[in-house]
Amino acid sequence: MKNRVIRLSPLAFALAPLLAAAQTAPHVDPHEHARPPVSVGKVTVKASPTKKSLEELTQPVAVLTGESLDQVKAVSLGETVSKLTGVQSTSFGPAVGRPIIRGMDGARVAVTSNGMGTGDVSTISNDHAVTVEPFLADQIEVLKGPATLMYGSGAIGGAVNVIDGRVPDTITTDHITGRTELRYGTANSAKTGMFRLDGAGMGGKLIIHADAVHRESGDLKIPGYADIHGAEEDDAIFGQIPNTFVRTDSAALGASWFGSHGFLGGGVSMFSTRYGIPAGAHVHEHDGHDDHAHEEHSDNVRIVMNQRRGEIKGALENVGPFVAIRPHVVRNNYTHTEFEGDAVGTVFENVSTTIRTDFILRKFGGWDNAFGVQAGRETQSAIGDEAFIPSTSSRDSSAYWYGGKRIGSVQFDAGARVGRVSISPDSHDDRRFTTKSGAVSAKWFVTPSFNINGGLDHAERAPSVEELFANGPHIATQTYEMGDETLSVEKANRGELGLGWKSRGLSANVSVYQARFDNFSYLKDMGFEEDHLPVRQWVQAPARFTGVDAEVKWNFANNDSGVWDARVFGDTVRAKLTNGVNLPRIAPSRVGAELSWRRDDWRASLSSIQVSKAKNLAPGETPTKGYNRVDAHVAWHHDFTPTHGFEIFLDGTNLLNKDIRLNTSFLKDSAPQAGRRFEFGIRTFF
């Protein structure tokens, strides 16, 4: 099998005797192994305008690909990336998990597919899923810090870019390559099947792609009571969370034609999912007809989501002063229907078109240069009982510039972006915003092994539709949400300083950062009720996010016992208004350790993540206990030929069967994470 692995995982100190034995075993030449150990190679980050390698970037980026991605793939994108330093996940049942980057989520974190927006409404409400299928991803890139230069104001807190190759952009000489996977999970009887095919024809000029995935699962099993108060509740639910089923189908067809000066390709894809909302999430209170008594009940709420996506992309290379010109057009047609029992509650529709072109210039004076333009239009509507936002039509346009240069032992990067956003709601006045962002960063390679890196950013974000115009019950958060039409552009200044070391199988990175917001938008509890729900209004105030990310990786043995790697990581973030009030649903501090081993056709890993008790709580926020999550993985890989093989794997999650409640979840008091879970299956490669 060709080398496919870029390892971004490993470690666990719980196995000290094994570590000692591995270190004292005699060293042997790795070429004497039946299957040589996979080494870390250069990873190209496609979120970079000039497609730099991970080591060359001056800004903090994490990448999952190859076996490191296979090992962590989950139903939701948030859970898939949640073991990366500085990255967490929201949770609203097993189907919903959106990435949180250094304490920021929602409208501040952009989720993109091949660099373009997903066109869903996952930022509007916490019970809305992202229309990205992690099982079909080739690579997932997480930009930890403002990514506004590439993705606009919606990435003021970072971005997650999922690369799936649905429109081929790389030439291959293989006639047909592909992979398949079948897996079964015990916690909710989850069954998943996927395949991917890539083929070349017409002398390698025509590349065709096809993929599909199907998933279905039942209600989620948990180690105890669903409600945090346990048996104290009269209707206490034990051992599972009702109405947490998931059924997902996704498929795509794409093709590209390659010529002597680039390529032109297109593709169509669909994403369809149906999932239940955990009991207690959507709770309504109704007045009685006679005495106006309040009767509380919970409906069996489920969401049916469908998206159709079409895209055209290409590249014209080596034309005049340009290394490449890369146009990309995407159109999304999205529908999201919430059913309460058999009745339709609310229907969200979103139709969007985005056009983007990147221009990569030849080096001038030693500088890498790129600029780009982007324009988009989006029409969004919400109809029904829970339509707490008006129907709107939005337009945005922007332009950016990026430059970089290596001067001696220092790599410098800089960039700027300006954008214009126009929001036109029904029965409200239009709002228009201009956003301006800029960044400078540098990495000083003090020695070949040691570097110091840092950066300064100014990023701006236009308010979202819900922040401006919300007015009504938002059942997912059990609040009456009110917007403020007078909100201004959110502005943040961020500084970061990091140290990096890489030598002889040992690498270490630590980063300290702070983001200062002049007018951070947040929901403020107003202290009264409307429709028997607490009223919360979007307001703005200065805020600070301060944190530390750290990670150490160590390839400490390569001998007869196998190849051994270790990883230790930790992260913490403190988020509060400058008046001292803590912001809600901030992930507690955590430390993790992972040990991984490889020998011949076998590989295995064991990890432990210790999450602290939530201490710095917002007013009215309930605490969550700390927990230790222990996971394990084992796989056996066999190659029939250098390009054909298969592997059998077994993953274990939450092996200690802990009651895990995420402080980042609106449902932490009523819907914990899965208990002890095993997933096993088979992958084939050809």
How confident is the model at residue 16, as a pLDDT? 36
**For strand 283-287 and strand 262-276, is the pairing parallel, antiparallel, or unpaired?**
unpaired
**Inter-residue contact 89 to 664 (CB < 8 Å):** yes
Regions of the chain short of the pLDDT cut 70: 1-41, 233-234, 280-299
Give the CA count within 13 Å in the CB-facing half-sphere of 381: 8
Q: In whole angstroms, how large is the CA radius of gyration of the chain?
A: 25
How confident is the model at residue 280, as a pLDDT? 60
Query: Per-residue pLDDT tens for 426-461?
Result: 988 999 999 999 999 999 999 999 999 999 999 999
Q: Using DSSP, state whether 459 is helix, strand or coil.
A: strand
Secondary element (H or E) of residue 378: strand 367-384
**For strand 238-241 and strand 220-225, is the pairing parallel, antiparallel, or unpaired?**
antiparallel
Tell me how many degrees the CA angle 25-27-31 measures, rounded to the nearest 5: 130
Identify the CA nearest to 148 among candidates 374, 330, 404.
Answer: 374
Decide: pTM greater than 0.85.
Answer: yes
The neighbour count for residue 457, using CB atoms within 10 Å, is 24
Identify the CA nearest to 514 among candidates 462, 569, 570, 572.
Answer: 572
Identify the CA nearest to 449 among candidates 509, 390, 495.
Answer: 509
The single residue listed with the structure tokens 């300290």 is 512
Phi/psi for 155 (5° steps) reads -115, 30
- Tokens of residue 53, six digits: 């390698």
How confident is the model at residue 281, as a pLDDT? 56
Give the CA count within 13 Å in the CB-facing half-sphere of 523: 22
Structural domains in the chain plus CATH codes: 13-679 (2.40.170.20)
